[in-house]
Chains A and B, each alone.
Chain A
Amino acid sequence: MDRAQRRERWEGLFPAGRLALTGALLSLVLLFQPSLEGRAVILAAALTAAWLSGRKLSPLLTLLVMAGIVGANLLVPLGRKLASWGPLVITEIALYEGLTKAVTFEALVFISKACLGPNLRLPGPFGAFFASALRTYERILAYKGKIGARSFIADIDAALVAVYGEKLDTMIGEPMDSRSAPASLRGNGYLIATTLLGLASLFIGR
């Protein structure tokens, strides 16, 4: 199954609004998770979910960012000396802090990737404003192929003139919910189970 197919299956299984709500709850669970091991488990689960959601992932960038965070935290020695590597002294508390921050940083990124998508619709006047911006974005995006590097400014300007002149208040209908009833029930069940497991993890090891 390729990335596009995984994405289609994921979007068919989970309603965008409830998925985003689950993501927000799991982010809170992560931030209140007291142990590094607990956070690492959430990172592994979030990474798997992000892969299943069909989002583009870069393992190399993830490793570089995590190494950078740990390395930067090691620059200021804190706690018992564990080892030294040239001028770099590896200290216990600095290493633990660095690992915790790196794991938290990347876990939040993967939770976001798995739980958010362009199908999300926000409520209220702010949501209406946001939806209008997204509709206009889709119209400008249609001109993407006509924008060249050599005439970049002229091409973008031509696209903006064309879209700005259109009647922008023409509503594009909300996307149809293509999920079948069993898929929807199954998706909701997964989301509730995931949230409960996340909440339960806060009490494990206390």
Chain B
Amino acid sequence: MSMMNSTRSYAEGRARLASFLAALAFFLSAVEYMLPRPVPFMRLGLANLPILLAVDLLPFGSYITLVFVKVLGMSILSGSLFSYVALFSLAGSLASALVMRGLRFVATERRVSYVGLCVAGALASNLAQVALARVFVFGASARYMLPAFLGLGLISGLVLGAFAELFALNSAWLRQAKEDARG
């Protein structure tokens, strides 16, 4: 009985952590909205930080649920759910999340840092979005955008990855969350 209770409270803890990370993504998205952009349409992708941290915190099911809730929540809050913007966001987030998770599956924290995960995720996200842009918006001209998009993805991946490293080094909350995730 106590084992069942402990399993349930462990699962509840994971669900609570996943919903907390989703809330953090909404919040960071709101923060990013207020920051000036160096280039129009270029976003740092601060809202992806919780997905990046979740690679080491959540089991696969909760991780993917987090991605869907992040996209859905941000689309509802920004009022873009029925537009191509939400579709692009879903494709980019899913591609990025799966690549980061796959990379972590084959390489431990010592071998690949948050910077490496983030750069791989950003490139996967931008590739997926350019592929969708080719189908829905730009047609064959999308190939001209690819180098610029990959370049921006590389820069934003490096910056966000470095920010994540710094955050992970200094965050008392993340230490607590990691302890909770280990059960």
Indicate if the CB atoms of B138 and A73 lie closer than 8 Å.
yes
Looking at B93-101, B104-112, B149-157, B163-171, the stretch in contact with chain A turns out to be B163-171
Find A76's partner among B23, B72, B75, B140 (CB 8 Å cutoff): B140
Q: Closest CB of chain A to B39's CB: distance in Å?
A: 13
Q: In the bound complex, how far is the Cα of B76 from the Cα of A164, in angstroms?
A: 24
Count of A-B contacts judged by CB separation below 8 Å: 139
Q: Say yes or no for A36: interface residue by CB 8 A criterion.
A: no
B73-86 vs A: 1/0 string, CB under 8 Å? 10111011111111
Q: Closest CB of chain A to B72's CB: distance in Å?
A: 7
A109-136 vs B: 1/0 string, CB under 8 Å? 1011111111010100010011011111
A residues near B30, Cβ cutoff 8 Å:
141, 144
B residues near A114, Cβ cutoff 8 Å:
79
A22-47 vs B: 1/0 string, CB under 8 Å? 01101100000000000000000000
A residues near B170, Cβ cutoff 8 Å:
153-154, 157
Most chain B CB inside 10 Å of its own CB: which residue of A111, A136, A154? A136
B residues near A136, Cβ cutoff 8 Å:
19-20, 22-23
Q: Say yes or no for A137: interface residue by CB 8 A criterion.
A: yes
Indicate if the CB atoms of B140 and A153 lie closer than 8 Å.
no
Tally chain A residues at the interface, Cβ within 8 Å. Answer: 50
Q: Say yes or no for A147: interface residue by CB 8 A criterion.
A: yes
Q: Say yes or no for B69: interface residue by CB 8 A criterion.
A: yes
Most chain B CB inside 10 Å of its own CB: which residue of A20, A132, A168? A132
Q: In the bound complex, how far is the Cα of B15 from the Cα of A130, in angstroms?
A: 11
Q: Closest CB of chain A to B68's CB: distance in Å?
A: 8
Q: Say yes or no for A97: interface residue by CB 8 A criterion.
A: yes
A residues near B139, Cβ cutoff 8 Å:
72-73, 76, 97, 101
Tally chain B residues at the interface, Cβ within 8 Å. Answer: 47
Q: Give the residue name and chain of the B residue nearest to A160 (CB).
A: B173
Q: Closest CB of chain A to B79's CB: distance in Å?
A: 4
B residues near A24, Cβ cutoff 8 Å:
82
Q: In the bound complex, how far is the Cα of B171 from the Cα of A205, in angstroms?
A: 62
Within residues 1 to 59 of chain B, which ones have a CB less than 8 A from any CB in chain A?
A: 15-16, 18-20, 22-24, 26-27, 30-31, 40
Indicate if the CB atoms of B15 and A129 lie closer than 8 Å.
yes
Q: Say yes or no for B103: interface residue by CB 8 A criterion.
A: no
B residues near A69, Cβ cutoff 8 Å:
137-138
A residues near B177, Cβ cutoff 8 Å:
164
Indicate if the CB atoms of A161 and B173 lie closer than 8 Å.
yes
Q: Say yes or no for A51: interface residue by CB 8 A criterion.
A: no
Q: In the bound complex, how far is the Cα of B69 from the Cα of A168, in angstroms?
A: 18
A residues near B137, Cβ cutoff 8 Å:
69, 72, 101, 105
What residues of chain B have their CB less than 8 Å away from a CB belonging to chain A? Answer: 15-16, 18-20, 22-24, 26-27, 30-31, 40, 65, 68-69, 72-73, 75-77, 79-86, 136-142, 144-145, 166-167, 170-174, 176-177
* Cβ-closest 3 pairs across A and B: A136-B23, A133-B22, A108-B83
